[in-house]
Amino acid sequence: MNKMKFFIRLGGLAVFGLVCVSESHAEHKADWKAGAQERRADYIFLEAQRQLALDNTDAYYELVSRAYELNPSESSVGHDLGFYEIMLGRGDRDMTEHGLQLLRKHFLAHPDDYYGTVLYGTMCERVGDGDTALAVWEKLHDIYPLKSEITLRLADAYLSRTADTLAQQRAISLIDRIKAAEGPQLQLTARKVMSYMSRRDTSSAIIEVERLVEETPRSADSRVYAGDMYMSFGDNDKALDYYNQACEVDPASGLAYYKRAGYYHEIGDSAAYDREVFQALQLPDMDLDTKLEILTGYVKEQYADSLMQPRINELFNRMVDLYPHEAPVHDLYSSYFVAINDFKSAAEQQEYVIDTDLHNADRWRGLMGLYFSARAYDKAAETGRRALELFPDSPIFYLLTGESASLSGDTVAAMEYLDRCIANDTAEVTIRSQAYTARGDILYKSGKVRDAISQYEKAMEIDPSNALAMNNCAYFMACENIDLDRAAELSRRSLNIDPDSGSSLDTYAWIMFKKGDYKEAKSFIDRAKELTAEPSAELYQHMGDIYFMCKDPEKALEYWKQAAELDPDDTLLQRKIKHKTYFYK
């Protein structure tokens, strides 16, 4: 009997042990599975960081999303995902909101994560959630009361509540705390002044600025700030006094001289303004960037006045003497010449820069463009040949040099350069198409009309968007009375691409004239003149012809005379004017 009882007890213990082992094994298995998933998430997250370092942003986003999906309890992963979604979802409200929720989750879990919390507060400010941002800065300030950058962020959050007097007072208290720890600073005073001015407390603002000046006796910036404040109050004498002090405290301060020069310009004292600019530009201790800023402001104010151009040139020449090898000086001088349409002088300044930057292809193209604008086509071609010595495999320089040679009258050289452009395997379709167009122009001028049209057709075949090829082909077909319907089709296609091109509108008008549709021709020629800044003799003669056929001989004569002023050697035009009638030949 006792044995039986013992057996039963032992058996019960055995069963109980089996149950315990089973339950323990299940829990261990569950823990192992969860741990494995977390480890997998960690691995994926590390791979995401690697992809981000390689600038594979798509892979990064996919991987970090998967890592968070596997382990949503890891708020730091959610934080990274949230920030990326905010950056990725600019303009997408749902994605931005989800990203903010992930940042908030991490903030609530780890408010002491300094950089994570700073990022959350910054993002809240960026999306306009000032209340949440304020709460974030308050929390972070509680945790890190000695970090002045957080104290300043909190002060700024209070300052943004301009209608809240209590918030303004708290902001000033925080700013004073930073000042007590770190000393007087312009940025701190500026914030306090902003607070006072928001409450129209000008007397407190003035006291604050005067205190800053007193506490920073060697600071030119503080005096400039004081001068700006008094200028805003209309106290010009006080403003000038502080600008003068700034220049005395730091004779090399570009800002001080710039502000004083601006003061004289503001009150209309042009002589003093000139004097200040000249004086500042000759200061040996002032850095070049500041001088260029002062000079740029001066030129912008004065360049439109032709009487000031000698003065501006004198300033630039002094700068060139001081900095003969500084590209920014020559670039600014060149820009000035472009602004007054003196492209030849602009090109001369760029020649100085080219010598210091020989292997900059963009500069060579820019220089050729300036010679084009100056109509110095021989110089443009020469520049192109020099560029090709440095860039012998560049299709664009073969094209530009060929076009330049053509315009300068050297058609043999032009065709050689254009042929080399077309034969270049690296040439883009658009460049080769332009080369065919240029060949067409040369052949037409040589009297080879059919060959020219063939070149335009090739240009359009390889680049159906080449509006210039369409326009030129259409125009020359009209001039030669070749397939006017085809010419009209090409002209319409060019206008579809560039509807505001004066040249293309003139072409279509001329085709309509040749087809006898004078009303349509007049409509388009008027539009062409309206959109052409400097109408050519050709355009004016077309206007005269069209207006004559529209039974307005007086207006026709007026346009023929305008054409003759631009091209007095055109004998056909002179006959029209003399006889006051239209001649076909």
Candidates 204, 113, 188; CA nearest to 156 is: 188
Confidence band of 280 (pLDDT split at 50, 70, 90): confident
pLDDT above 80 (res 318)? yes
Classify 448 in phi/psi space as left (phi over 0), alpha (psi -120 to 50) or beta: beta
**What CA–CA distances, in Å, run from 532 to 326, 439, 479, 491?**
38, 26, 21, 17
Q: What average pLDDT score do residues 218-246 get?
A: 94
Is residue 19 predicted with pLDDT exceeding 80? no
The pairs formed by 64-67 with CB atoms below 8 angstroms and a separation of 24 or more are 66/41, 67/41, 67/42
Contact partners, residue 505, CB within 8 Å, separation at least 6: 495, 524, 525, 527, 528, 531
Nearest of 328, 313, 334, 318 to residue 283 by alpha carbon: 318
Task: Note the pLDDT of residue 271.
Answer: 86
pLDDT (tens digit per residue) in 476-491: 999 999 999 999 999 9
Tell me which DSSP letter residue 235 carries: -
CB 324 within 8 A of CB 356: no
Ramachandran quadrant class, 235 (left: phi over 0; alpha: psi -120 to 50; beta: rest): beta
Kindly state the tokens that stand for 454.
Answer: 């063939």
Lowest mean pLDDT of 80-89, 135-144, 372-381, 505-514, name the range: 80-89
For 131-142, what is the mean pLDDT? 94
Q: Return the pLDDT at 12.
A: 38
Task: Give the distance from CA 583 to its chain's centroid.
Answer: 52
Task: Among 149-163, 271-285, 329-343, 499-513, name the one with the lowest average pLDDT.
Answer: 271-285
List the one residue out of 130, 109, 106, 138 whose CA is nearest residue 119: 106
Which residue type does 517 have? D
Position 583 confidence tier, pLDDT thresholds 50, 70, 90 = confident
Please check whether residue 577 is in contact with residue 561, taking contact to mean a CB–CB distance below 8 angstroms: yes
Average pLDDT score over the chain: 89
Q: Give long-range contacts, CB 8 A cutoff, 24+ apart: 470-473.
A: 470/494, 470/497, 471/501, 471/503, 471/504, 471/507, 472/437, 472/440, 472/441, 472/444, 473/440
**pLDDT for 84 beyond 50:** yes
Written as six digits, the tokens of 371 are 């010679």
> What is the rounded distance in angstroms from the CA atom of residue 450 to the CA atom of residue 487?
14
**Helical ranges in 54-147 per DSSP H:** 57-70, 75-88, 93-109, 114-126, 130-143
At residue 31 the predicted structure's pLDDT band, cuts being 50, 70 and 90, is low
- How far apart are the C-alpha atoms of 418 and 403, rounded to whole Å? 8
Examine the pLDDT at 16 and tell me if it is beyond 70. no
What is the per-residue pLDDT for 28? 47
> What CA–CA distance (Å, rounded) separates 245 from 222?
10
Per-residue model confidence as pLDDT tens digits over 398-438: 999 999 999 999 999 999 999 999 999 899 999 999 999 99
Phi first, then psi, for residue 218 (nearest 5°) are -110, 15
Q: Looking at residue 261, what is its pLDDT?
A: 87
pLDDT in tens, 322-377: 999 999 999 999 999 999 999 999 999 999 999 888 999 999 999 999 999 999 99
Mean pLDDT computed over 96-104? 92
Q: At 223, is the pLDDT very low, low, confident or very high (cuts 50, 70, 90)?
A: very high
> Distance between CA 264 and CA 327 in Å, rounded?
30
Rounded CA separation 189/212 (Å): 7
Gyration radius of the chain's alpha carbons: 38
Please answer whether residues 107 and 136 qualify as being in contact, where contact means their C-beta atoms are separated by less than 8 angstroms.
Answer: yes
CA 189 to chain centre: 34
Q: How far apart are CA 303 and CA 215, in angstroms?
A: 42
pLDDT band at residue 34 using 50, 70 and 90 as cut-offs: low
Distance CA 408, CA 400 (A): 12
In angstroms, the CA 524 to CA 506 distance is 7
Share of the chain above pLDDT 90, in %: 70
Per-residue model confidence as pLDDT tens digits over 108-127: 999 999 999 999 999 999 98
- Report whether 189 contacts 209 (CB < 8 A): yes
Spatial separation of the C-alpha atoms in residues 541 and 584, rounded to whole Å: 12
